[in-house]
Amino acid sequence: MPQLDLEKTLQRIKDNQWSLADFDWDAPGAENIPEEQWHKLKAFMADLTWIEHIGARGFAAMAKKAPNDTLKQIYEWFHAEEQRHANAELALMRRWGMIKDDELPEPNINLRITIEWLDKFSDDMPLNVLGSVIPMLEVTLDGALCKFLLEEVKDPMCHEVFAKINADEARHLGVDFHVLEMLGHGPKYRIALETLATAMNPKLMLGIFAYFPLLNRMRDNIVKMGLKEERLYEAMAKFKKYGGATPEGRANPWYQLMVMHGGWVIDRKNKLYHGPVDAMVKMSDYIPTWLMPDVPSWVNKLTWRPFA
Ligand SMILES: [Fe+2]
Ligand SMILES: [Fe+2]
């Protein structure tokens, strides 16, 4: 990937802002969701909304850590954009009769745990960790899920909305991979030492316990939607390709760890990984919701209302 001009990117972000009011949410086409798709789509959209939220929270944490002001501003815009994606998806759910008025969809338990972790610990994570995990989450969960959806859903409004969302996402990925590469600059021993120090942080370990089952849960949900899990793996391969396009990118140990982990996820025959992680997914189904703390306050900023 060519070097990214962050100033130009920031300008492009500002020039391409859109809002929920740009759409006529009552336009015909909502009836194109067949009965047999409706329930699956409802669960899928609920997850997607919350994944946008995870992205939003991640960018908020990144903004605080940004090494320069341009990048800080970019992350602040991205934070707002992910919230807008969540809101647009809520508006679609409302259009399809999946949620009522101010109702928020229920996130699956693994998303719930991840959100909890982000809220408590993401601000304590160094830029390096966030800057490596976010591109993976964006390319697999945010990016890939949005594209899958377009193949399945026949409502033209859905396509209009996701054209905007995907254009935003393309800019997110450009910056994500730029930063991933940036983080690999510097003497190797220094990066390695920092990585080791961070990897021993118990807060990060907790994050891993949230992240591993989340990916397997999302894989299962994708299959439930009637989509091929290979599509998710193709998206993960993109992380490897773009993230490793330069020597600096490859020199980032977090990139290497993400790629190694991606290899385990893709390989269903790897029982050593999938055995325990699938068990964690099953186990998390038994966590009673009353045990989970209330949703964090930033969630209340979610709304389908166009003027927000
Ligand atoms: Fe998004
Ligand atoms: Fe994004």
Residue 93 has a pLDDT of 95
What does the mean pLDDT of the chain come to? 86
Kindly identify the ligand whose nearest atom is closest to the C-alpha of 174: 2
* Cα-to-chain-centroid distance, residue 147: 13
What integer pLDDT is reported at residue 20 of this predicted model? 94
Query: What separation in Å is there between the alpha carbon of 90 and the centre of ligand 1?
Result: 13
CB 32 within 8 A of CB 89: no
Mean pLDDT, range 89-105, rounded to an integer: 91
Domain membership flag for residue 178: yes
CA of 197 to the centre of ligand 1 (A): 31
Q: Indicate whether 306 belongs to any domain.
A: no
Q: How confident is the model at residue 308 (pLDDT cuts 50, 70, 90)?
A: very low
Å from CA of 18 to ligand 1 middle: 14
pLDDT digits (tens, 9 = 90+) for 106-162: 888 888 888 888 888 888 888 888 888 888 888 888 777 887 788 889 999 999 999
pLDDT score of 189 more than 50? yes
Across 31-35, 135-139, 145-149, 168-172, least confident range: 145-149
How many structural domains comprise the chain? 1
Closest ligand to C-alpha of residue 134 is: 2
CB 302 within 8 A of CB 90: yes
Q: How far is the CA of 142 from the centre of ligand 2 (A)?
A: 6
Q: Distance from the CA of 169 to the center of ligand 2, in angstroms?
A: 5
Q: Which bound ligand lies closest to the C-alpha atom of 161?
A: 1
Closest ligand (CA of 75): 2
pLDDT of residue 226: 79
Q: How far is the CA of 35 from the centre of ligand 2 (A)?
A: 30
Residue 4 is assigned to a structural domain of this protein: no
* Cβ atoms < 10 Å from Cβ of 81: 24
Secondary structure element (H or E) that encloses residue 91, with its range: helix 69-95
Q: Note whether residue 141 is domain-resident.
A: yes
Q: Which residues surround ligand 2, an ion (CB under 5 A)?
A: 55, 138, 142, 169, 172
Radius of gyration of the chain, Cα coordinates, nearest whole angstrom: 19
The answer to whether 173 touches 81, Cβ cutoff 8 Å, is no
CA of 251 to the centre of ligand 2 (A): 24
Q: Judge whether 198 lies within some domain.
A: yes
Token pair recorded at residue 26:
């009552």
Give the domain range for residue 49. 36-293
Joined together, the tokens standing for residue 104 give 């928020």
What's the predicted TM-score (pTM) here? 0.86
Q: Does 12 fall in a domain?
A: no
The answer as to whether 184 is a domain residue is yes
CATH of the domain at 109: 1.20.1260.10
Q: Is the dihedral of CA 130, 131, 133, 136 positive or negative?
A: positive
Is 19 a domain residue? Answer: no
